[in-house]
Amino acid sequence: MTDIPVYQNFINGEFAPTPKNTIDVHNPANGNLLSRVPESETGEVEHAIAAAKAAQTGWAAKPAIERAGYLRKIATKIRENADELAKVITLEQGKILSLARVEVDFTADYLDYMAEWARRIEGEIITSDRVGENIFLFRKPVGVVAGILPWNFPFFLIARKMAPALITGNTIVIKPSEETPNNCFEFTKLVAETDLPPGVFNVVCGSGAQVGSTLTSHAGIDLISFTGSVETGARIMAAAAPNITKLNLELGGKAPAIVLADADIDLAVTAIKNSRVINSGQVCNCAERVYVDASVADQFIDKITKAMAMTTYGDPIARPDVDMGPLVNRIGLDKVAAMVETARAAGGTITTGGKIAELGQGFHYQPTVIADCRSDMEIMRKEVFGAVLPIQVVSGLDEAITCANASEYGLTSSIFTKNLSFALQAVNQLNFGETYVNRENFEAMQGYHAGVRKSGIGGADGKHGLYEYTHTHVAYIQT
């Protein structure tokens, strides 16, 4: 029997002693035990925050171009180890290897992209009402960032939080999801091989209830950057409230895809299917409910049913050719199964799938299409983290937009039409942070990934995401 690795926290530039209490990490495709990771104690979390605090002033004092150099070194190391890292992600998270490889490459590119901002972070000089005065706006780091990660793109999310934090002069304490921590520790090993100053990047692992709540209620944290569920986001807001800690929250979505009468139906089918199947449907911004015009509904439903039915699934290591791996855990699988059952009972027609897959092992759910859905059904309102596509028939764009906007979420949305006026009307009237026109939902690192309503507060990526990690300091200089 091979030894099960036991990972250690990374605090103040050193790996901590072997943890006393651990959490087991399993492969969702077959249940095998992969590793043991720390269930950190409060003292360790406080130690990490203190280390980040102590390092922050010196780190912020370095020229940004020097800070960029460290991000570039880490990016290079990621590229040198890309295949191994992709395998670690697949084993613990369940996504197919080719997607894990995309995630690894994107992460390295993201670190390089954020490094490019070193020479572009700008303040402002504003005209004064007073003679001989200049008003300067400086962009300054907020201080110590807590980065709390989800499990769906766990490797990329390290960089999405760390890179803008570090380039703007903050230090960070990362808490990976207890479902998928191994890739974060492998990332950390690469960081440890660089000469990044101690305390700038720290990792403490553990459950949300213990480690997450210690981090989010701690007065030493200046910004909490969290990606995860609405429920946990609300708990984090409550924990942050006594310290009035700044928040950046990405809390998922229920992305509508609108298919109009003039749409290229084959394009819409391919894009929506790909969007729903990627990462086994566990993606915050991907198409989660369709509003299709009545005139093309039968054609669309027929084609998307066939496309979803042809989607293959299985253990992504044993069968590298599959389109989808398992869901991340039993809770996720049971949740998807229950939501489909509720939709069926409420009058939804399952045109393909609709069951837990009988593969003998792993948390697999069949790719599923549900026709005859209505706006009042749970499946059209609540996030479903699985390859399940509910479809509602509508009459024209106005009804589609009204239905799309009637949601507690507001992250992403998409529309398929050949008419630019319809596309622009949708962009103007959809109350969402992102809209994709005639393409699958997948954001660019130079864009801005952000939602309205319960999808969160603030955003990530690009210039606007970068500046979330700064505060603005104004100086009135009378000469």
Cα dihedral sign, 406-411-417-420: positive
If one asks whether residue 229 binds ligand TXE (CB under 6 A), the answer comes out as: yes
Per-residue interface string for the shown chain with ligand TXE, residues 144-173, x marking contact by CB under 6 A: ----xxxxx---------------------
Q: Would you state the structure tokens that stand for residue 192, as one six-digit string?
A: 């440890």
Nearer to ligand TXE, 213 or 311 (CB): 213
Which CB contacts under 8 angstroms, 24+ apart, belong to 337-341? 337/365, 339/378, 339/379, 339/382, 339/384, 339/388, 340/368, 340/370, 340/379, 340/388
Closest CA to 273 of 298, 246, 302: 302
List the one residue from 201, 313, 363, 385 that touches ligand TXE (CB under 6 A). Answer: 385
The total number of residues written for the chain in this structure = 479
Nearer to ligand TXE, 112 or 440 (CB): 440
Closest distance between ligand TXE and the C-beta of residue 106, in Å? 15
Beta strands in 142-300 (DSSP E): 144-148, 171-175, 201-203, 223-227, 246-250, 255-259, 287-293
Query: What is the residue-wise DSSP string for 64-122?
Result: HHHHHHHHHHHHHHHHHTHHHHHHHHHHHH---HHHHHHHHHHHHHHHHHHHHGGGT--
List the one residue from 45, 68, 89, 236 that touches ligand TXE (CB under 6 A). Answer: 236
If one asks whether residue 51 binds ligand TXE (CB under 6 A), the answer comes out as: no
Nearer to ligand TXE, 455 or 470 (CB): 455
Q: Measure the CA–CA gap between 316 and 383, rounded to whole angstroms.
A: 25
Residue whose structure tokens are 């807590």: 146
List the one residue from 232, 351, 352, 414 that touches ligand TXE (CB under 6 A). Answer: 232
Closest CA to 93 of 48, 169, 156, 8: 156
Q: Which of 92, 103, 186, 284 is catalytic?
A: 284
Residues 193-212 that bind ligand TXE (CB under 6 A): 207-209, 212
Q: Measure the CA–CA gap between 92 and 37, rounded to whole angstroms.
A: 12
Q: Would you state the structure tokens that stand for residue 440, as one six-digit string?
A: 């699958």
Q: Examine the residue annotation and report whether 250 is marked as an active-site residue of this protein.
A: yes
If one asks whether residue 178 binds ligand TXE (CB under 6 A), the answer comes out as: yes
Closest distance between ligand TXE and the C-beta of residue 235, in Å? 4
If one asks whether residue 250 binds ligand TXE (CB under 6 A), the answer comes out as: yes
List the one residue from 47, 77, 235, 364 that touches ligand TXE (CB under 6 A). Answer: 235
Closest distance between ligand TXE and the C-beta of residue 232, in Å? 3
224 Cβ neighbours under 8 A, 6+ residues apart: 145, 146, 148, 215, 216, 236, 240, 245, 246, 247, 248, 249
Residue nearest to ligand TXE (CB): 208
Stretch that binds ligand TXE, among 76-84, 222-230, 291-299, 414-422 (CB under 6 A): 222-230
DSSP category for residue 197? P
Nearer to ligand TXE, 23 or 121 (CB): 23
Closest distance between ligand TXE and the C-beta of residue 265, in Å? 29
Site size with ligand TXE, rule: CB under 6 A: 27
List the one residue from 216, 311, 351, 412 that touches ligand TXE (CB under 6 A). Answer: 216
- Catalytic residue positions, numbered: 250, 284
Residues at the interface with ligand TXE (CB under 6 A): 148-152, 175, 177-178, 207-209, 212-213, 216, 227-229, 232, 235-236, 250-252, 284, 332, 383, 385
